[in-house]
Amino acid sequence: MDTFGGMHTLASLSQVPDQTGRTVIVTGAGSGIGRAAAAALAARGARLVLAVRDQDKGRAAAASMTGQVEVRPLDLGSLASIRDFAAGVDGPVDVLVNNAGTMTDSLHHTADGFELQLGVNHLGPFALTNLLLDRITGRVVSVSSAAYRSAQIDFDDLQWERRPYAPFGAYGQSKLATLLFTTELQRRLNLAGSSVTATAAHPGWASTGFRITSGNRLLDTLAAAVTPLLAHGPEGGALPTLLAAVGDVPAGSLAGPSRFGGVRGPATAGGTSAAATDPDAAARLWDVSERLTGTRFPLTRAVPTPDPSEV
C-alpha cells in the first residue's frame, strides 16, 4: 500500500496517513520510541495493541493516547510469555512492530537461559513473529540500531559462555541479528508467495530514557551528559519506525534518520551493510534461532500454478 503517496521520507508525525481499520501491535510501547510510534498510529485511527512487560506503564501510556488502544502483557525474555501473548491474538494483524529492546552493562540471562540482550532483542521477537505470522497481513517491522555496523555474529559463542562479556559487543551482535532476521524473513516470505513485507528501522541518536551501557563508565557518563543536548526526542526517534511500518519503502530496507550520518533528521529508507544481508549468515542464524526458541516459520512454500498448455 502506497500510504505515503510515493514519499520515501517522513519528517513529521503529522505526515502519518489515515490508519482507520488497521490493527497494529507494538512491543515495548510503554515508553520511549515505541510509545511515540504507537500514539501516532492510534491518533490516525489504528487499533493499537501495546504489548508490554510493565502493565502499569502500559496502562499509563494507553491513557495518554487517543483512539482504540489496549494493553496486553508480554515479556520478551520469556518464551512462555511470548506463547501466551500470541495465543491471545485471535484476529488479523496488519503490522507487527518489534520495538522492545534492552541494554545491559553486565551479563544477565532470560528466563530461558539466553544471554539477555540476544534473548530480548532477537530471540524473543523471532519467536513472536513466527507465532503470529499466520495472522499478519501487512508488515513486520524490527527495530535495530546503528551499533550493528561494528558488530559480528559469533556462532561459536553466541551466548557469551566462553568469552569475557563485552556489553556493547553483545548489544551490537543482537542488533545485527535483528537485521539478519529481517533479511531471511523476507526471503522466506518471498518463497512462500506471501504479500507480507519485512522491514527494519533504527532511531538514530534518541533521548528516550534508554540508558547507554557500554561497560565503560567514562563513556557511559559522557553519553548520559550529551544525549539530552544532541539527540532528538522520542517523536523524532519514532519517525524511522513509522516510515518502515506504513511508508513506501522497499522490502528488507532499513529506515533511519537522514542527517548527520544517520544521527537525526527526517526518516528515509536505505540499504544495510553486507554483513547485515549476508544470506549464509542469515540462514544459519535462522536455523540456530529456531532450535533455541522451538518456533518455526509457519507458511508453506508457494507451488507455481501449472501452465495449461504444458499439462
Catalytic residues: 171
Query: Order of strands across the sheet with 197-201?
Result: 9-10, 264-270, 254-259, 197-201, 136-143, 93-98, 23-27, 47-52, 69-73
Contact 285, 123 (CB under 8 A): no
Contacts of 127 (CB under 8 A, 6+ apart): 79, 82, 83, 293, 294, 295
Q: Which helix (H) or strand (E) holds 234?
A: helix 234-246
Pairing type for strands 47-52 and 69-73 reads parallel
Of 232, 208, 261, nearest to 99 (Cα)? 208
Of 248, 242, 152, 146, nearest to 202 (Cα)? 146
d(CA 256, CA 50): 23
Of 156, 153, 200, 201, nearest to 174 (Cα)? 153
Helix (H, G, I), strand (E, B) or coil at 111: coil
d(CA 68, CA 145): 30
d(CA 82, CA 26): 13
The total of other beta-carbon atoms located within 10 Å of residue 288's CB is 16
